[in-house]
Structure 1
Amino acid sequence: MIITTSLRENESLIARAQELASELGADYQPRRKLSLSKCLERFGPFYLLYKDRLSFVNADASELIFHPDTAVLRLKAPHDALISLLGQSPKSILDTTMGLASDSLVMAAVGNRVTALESQEVIFQVVSRGLATYQTDNKQIEKAMQSIKAVKSDSLTFLKSQTDHSFDIIYADPMFSETIKESENLNAIKPLANGSRLTREWLDEAKRVGRERIIIKAHFRDSVFEELGFERQVRPNQKLHYGVMELIDTEY
Structure 2
Amino acid sequence: MDLIVTTIQSPSQAVEELALQIASVLQIPFVPRERFSLIALRNNYQIDNIVVVTKNGPVVHTLGGEYFFHLNMAELRIKNIINGKHDHMVAAMMLTAGMSVLDCTLGLATDAVVASFVVGQTGKVVGLESSPIIAFIANYGLQNFTHDNLDVTEALRRIQVQRTHCHDYLINLPANSFDIVFFDPMFRQPIHSSSNLKPLRYLANNQPIAESALTEACRVAKKRVVIKETNHNNEFERLGVTTICGGKYSSIQYGVIKVDN
**SS, match of residue 69 in structure 1:** coil
For residue 56 of structure 2, the aligned residue among 52, 58, 68 is 52
**SS, match of residue 196 in structure 2:** helix
Q: Is the 8 A contact 2:9 2:33 kept in 1?
A: yes
Q: Following the alignment from structure 1 to structure 2, what is the Cα–Cα distance between the partners of residues 164 and 56?
A: 37
Q: Is it true that 1:69 corresponds to 2:72 in the alignment?
A: yes
Going from structure 1 to structure 2, the CA distance change for 1:240 and 1:27 (only over 3 Å counts) comes to: same
Q: What RMSD, in angstroms, separates the aligned Cα atoms of the two structures?
A: 1.8
For residue 42 of structure 1, the aligned residue among 19, 25, 44 is 44
Q: Structure 2: 5+ residue runs without aligned partners?
A: none
Q: Following the alignment from structure 2 to structure 1, what is the Cα–Cα distance between the partners of residues 144 and 97?
A: 29
Q: Following the alignment from structure 2 to structure 1, what is the Cα–Cα distance between the partners of residues 259 and 147?
A: 37
For residue 256 of structure 2, the aligned residue among 238, 244, 248 is 244
For residue 162 of structure 1, the aligned residue among 153, 168, 173 is 173
Aligned to 1:27: 29
Q: Structure 1: 5+ residue runs without aligned partners?
A: none
Q: Following the alignment from structure 2 to structure 1, what is the Cα–Cα distance between the partners of residues 114 and 222?
A: 21
> Aligned AA for 2:34?
R
1:127-138 correspondence runs (5 A)? 127-138=138-149
Going from structure 1 to structure 2, the CA distance change for 1:8 and 1:142 (only over 3 Å counts) comes to: farther
> Aligned AA for 1:106?
V
Which has the larger displacement, 21-30 or 109-118?
A: 21-30
Going from structure 1 to structure 2, the CA distance change for 1:31 and 1:203 (only over 3 Å counts) comes to: same
- How much identity, in percent, do the aligned residues show? 30
1:95-244 correspondence runs (5 A)? 95-110=103-118, 111=120, 112-230=123-241, 231-244=243-256
For residue 92 of structure 2, the aligned residue among 64, 70, 85 is 85
Going from structure 1 to structure 2, the CA distance change for 1:10 and 1:91 (only over 3 Å counts) comes to: same
Q: Shift of residue 194 of structure 1?
A: 1.1
Which has the larger displacement, 196-205 or 10-19?
A: 10-19
> Aligned AA for 1:207?
C
Q: Shift of residue 234 of structure 1?
A: 4.2
> Aligned AA for 1:181?
H
Q: Following the alignment from structure 2 to structure 1, what is the Cα–Cα distance between the partners of residues 6 and 107?
A: 23
How many residues align? The count is: 248
Q: Is the 8 A contact 2:64 2:202 kept in 1?
A: no
Q: Is it true that 1:13 corresponds to 2:23 in the alignment?
A: no
> Aligned AA for 2:67?
L
Q: Following the alignment from structure 2 to structure 1, what is the Cα–Cα distance between the partners of residues 37 and 146?
A: 26
> Aligned AA for 2:77?
R
Q: Shift of residue 85 of structure 1?
A: 2.4
